[in-house]
Amino acid sequence: MKKALTYINILFFLCFFTTLAWAQTKVYISVDMEGVTGAVSGAQLGPSGFEYQRFREFMTEEVLAAIRGARAAGATEFLVSDSHGNGQNLLIDRFEKDVQIVRSWPRPLGMMGGLDESFDAAIFIGYHTSTANTRGVRAHTFSSATLTDVRLNGTSVSEAGFNAAIAGHFGVPIVMVSGDDAIVEETRAYVGDVEGAIVKWATSFHSARTLTPAAGCDVIEAAARRAIERVGELEPFRLTGDIELEISFKNYRQAEILSYLSSVERIDSHSIRYVAKDMVEASMFAQFVNNYQPGLSP
Ligand SMILES: [Zn+2]
């Protein structure tokens, strides 16, 4: 009897350690561009900017650095979402063959397109502060041209905050954010004690003291490694119950016309409220508001 028990114990430990060895750690990486090392103005951020092609390379290098750091801590699978501008910034031939990339728009989950409950952690690279923050390079939420505030349950949120809540819906914790000092601070204040990779220090909306791209990658790689080592410790950022999503527009007419919908309440001249049953519905509403135009083609 005693001997049988010992065999069972040995079998149990063998199974346990084999499972550990085979455990997959699946990481989702959402990538924006305003928070990339050195990016400070439109000259780096879109196809018409004179530095854009160089900054696509720097952006790609930062994701590769995050993947290196995460792999060093045991991450095995990666989905990267190119979530800036046209969604086609990352140089996809630079990635290893086991990495997949989400490109272009529209996507129901926006900057979190492709995320589901199978992921163990999410990382934000190149992020920037919210439109409600007085600090931060290129501070805006979703659209600097059209929106002046986005609130979840009464609190102004950055894209990092909004996207952390989407990840929380799927039970996925945000473990790291990179960008300027202000977005690391804003994300920690809203989401909790995530790893932060500060690659520049905001001086103003269009100015920063920055690391070099190579030094920025070192900071990101180290932070990603620490972040994946902490996966078991960091909780998903969950908003429970109905989600009150409020959006304030720079102009008057969006709020006026959206309030024609019975599901939308106009709360002041420039703002509307929509109550969603969860963050997926809130995300889809925000995507609709930001993307719908009657003249879309094809
Ligand atoms: Zn952004």
**Cα of 263 to ligand 1 centre, how many Å?**
27
Residue 276 lies in a domain: no
Q: How far apart are CA 201 and CA 128, in angstroms?
A: 12
Q: Give the E-state strand segments of the chain in sequence order.
A: 26-31, 77-82, 99-102, 121-127, 147-152, 155-156, 174-180, 195-204, 207-210, 243-249, 264-268, 271-276
Residue 265 lies in a domain: no
User: pLDDT for 25-68, tens place per residue?
Assistant: 999 999 999 999 999 999 999 999 999 999 999 999 999 999 99
**Cα of 205 to ligand 1 centre, how many Å?**
14
Residue 177 lies in a domain: yes
pLDDT top residue among 35 and 23: 35
| % of the chain at pLDDT higher than 70 | 93
**Cα of 90 to ligand 1 centre, how many Å?**
15
Residue 272 lies in a domain: no
**Cα of 257 to ligand 1 centre, how many Å?**
25
**Cα of 80 to ligand 1 centre, how many Å?**
15
CATH code of residue 78: 3.40.50.10780
What is the distance, to the nearest Å, from the Cα of residue 9 to the centroid of all Cα atoms in its chain?
A: 44
Least-confidence region, from 5-14, 114-123, 260-269, 283-292:
5-14
| Residue span of the structural domain in which 106 resides | 25-133+159-229
**Cα of 68 to ligand 1 centre, how many Å?**
24
Residue 285 lies in a domain: no
Supply the pLDDT for residue 113. Answer: 98
**Cα of 117 to ligand 1 centre, how many Å?**
23
Residue 130 sits at φ, ψ, to 5 deg, of -80, 165
Q: Is the pLDDT of residue 99 over 60?
A: yes
**Cα of 4 to ligand 1 centre, how many Å?**
60
What is the arithmetic mean of pLDDT over 117-128?
98
Supply the pLDDT for residue 23. Answer: 77
Supply the pLDDT for residue 14. Answer: 63
**Cα of 161 to ligand 1 centre, how many Å?**
12
**Cα of 143 to ligand 1 centre, how many Å?**
8
Considering its fold, how many domains does the chain have in total? 1
Going by pLDDT thresholds of 50, 70 and 90, the confidence category of residue 291 is: very high
Please give the model's pTM, rounded to 2 decimal places: 0.93
Residue 61 lies in a domain: yes
What is the distance, to the nearest Å, from the Cα of residue 245 to the centroid of all Cα atoms in its chain?
A: 18
Residue 138 lies in a domain: no
**Cα of 208 to ligand 1 centre, how many Å?**
17
Provide the residue count of the chain: 298
Residue 13 lies in a domain: no
**Cα of 139 to ligand 1 centre, how many Å?**
9
